[in-house]
A = this chain, B = another copy of it.
Amino acid sequence: MALEFNVLNTTEAGGRRGRIHLPHRTVETPVFMPVGTLGTVKAVAQDVLENLGAEIILGNTYHLYLRPGHEAIRRMGGLHRFISWPRAMLTDSGGFQVFSLSALRKVTDEGVRFRSHLDGSSHFFTPEHSMDVQIALGADICMAFDECTEYPADRTRAEESLRLTLAWARRSLDHFRAHSHEVPWHEELGGKTQSLFGIVQGGMYRDLRRESVERLVEMDFDGYAIGGLSVGEPRDLTLEMIAEVLPLLPADKPRYVMGVGYPDEIEKYARMGVDMMDCVLPTRAARHGLLFTSEGRLNIKGKKYAEDQGPPDPACSCMVCQRYSRAYLRHLMHSGEALSATLNSIHNLAYYLGIMEHVRKSLHSDGGDS
């Protein structure tokens, strides 16, 4: 049994208050998923993530495949056990990192040959291999192996890329279904299985996006992601693509927009009917001293905070805002102290998770339960 998705309420604007039942956790949606690239949300310990209310985190297939290796993780019982994270997880397909991080990649219909960004070693990823790796990792949700269409891409390029993504989606799904019982926790969790999401591509071409949805929905995935966004396009184009695709997706399946976004964006997309989002922004920005607050963005490196004894965000109840001052966070950042990344990341994650909690409440009350 894969996921079960209940929509508790739908607003006029299309926003949905939902609940995804996954093998390791029932996740309240819309949900923001912190990114734990290498099996750790950078600088934040698992118990802190739990206290922040994170219900599902991401792992990156490409990174974990290279280090420590998916077979090692399989032998240790899967990613949940390896990193000691009992709640839900999602792994991407590895495709995005293969295209963005690796060198000398060569794409054929069969798959992608690439060189590791770590040691230059040669690797070959196919849809089948991506599924094998993701099954070994054992996240609750896996992603079909796709080609993330770059921006800008002309129409011919976008069509060709979509053709590849659709063929790979089919192969991903077939291989995934045939091997779903191989997930490390299959018996331990009474025969439960992972879920597989298809990824809508098509560049910035509305009709290609529509074609992508149509073909993927025919294949009947457990959920659908909108990929190929946040790749350099203007924000109104991101919004346009999301608005185009959302109404076409089946209402009874979770909808996931990958790799977005700023606080105002995740709120907007959630209110439009996006159920899941992930982004490195809250943690990456944190490491550079950028805090998201109810008063806007705050660059903690600023000299004006040198003796500012106020909390990072006066309206925030996170453990960082309750205990530490802007002056102290600035000092940690200026001194290059490790605690800087930790505290900044905790606050930003609290802020993102808080936005989604707020949105969930308003989606719930707006029109009553269904």
In the assembled complex, A306 has its CB within 8 A of some CB on chain B: yes
Report the minimum CB–CB distance from A185 to chain B (whole Å).
15
Which has the most chain B C-beta neighbours within 10 Å: A325, A335, A343? A335
Bound state CA distance, A84 and B330, in angstroms? 14
Distance (whole angstroms) from the CB of A163 to the closest CB of chain B: 36
- Mark A326-347 against chain B: 1 for CB-CB distance below 8 A, else 0: 0110111011011101110000
Q: Which residues of B contact A68 (CB under 8 A)?
A: 306, 327, 330-331, 334
Across the interface, A40 reaches (CB within 8 A) one of B43, B327, B330, B339, namely B339
- Contact check, A324 vs B84: say whether CB atoms are below 8 A apart: yes
In the assembled complex, the Cα of A334 lies from the Cα of B67 at a distance in Å of 8
Q: Return chain B residues, CB-CB under 8 Å to A365.
A: none
Our pick among B76, B307, B342 for the contact of A327 (Cβ within 8 Å) is B76
Is A323 part of the binding interface, using a Cβ–Cβ cutoff of 8 Å? Answer: yes
Report how many copies the assembly holds.
2
Cβ B45 vs Cβ A328 within 8 A: no
Q: How far is the CA of A306 from the CA of B67 in the complex (A)?
A: 11
Of the four ranges (under 10, 10 to 19, 20 to 34, 35 or more), the interface on chain A belongs to 35 or more
Q: Which residue of B lies closest to A82 (CB)?
A: B328
Query: Is A44 on the interface with B (CB-CB < 8 A)?
Result: yes
> Does A87 interact with chain B (Cβ within 8 Å)?
no
- Tell me which residues across on chain B come within 8 A of A84, comparing CB atoms: 323-325, 328
Residues on the B chain within 8 Å of A335, using CB: 38, 40, 67
Not counting A43-B338, A83-B328, A342-B342, a sample of 7 additional A-B residue pairs whose C-beta atoms are within 8 angstroms of each other reads A38-B331, A67-B334, A72-B306, A76-B327, A77-B309, A82-B327, A84-B324
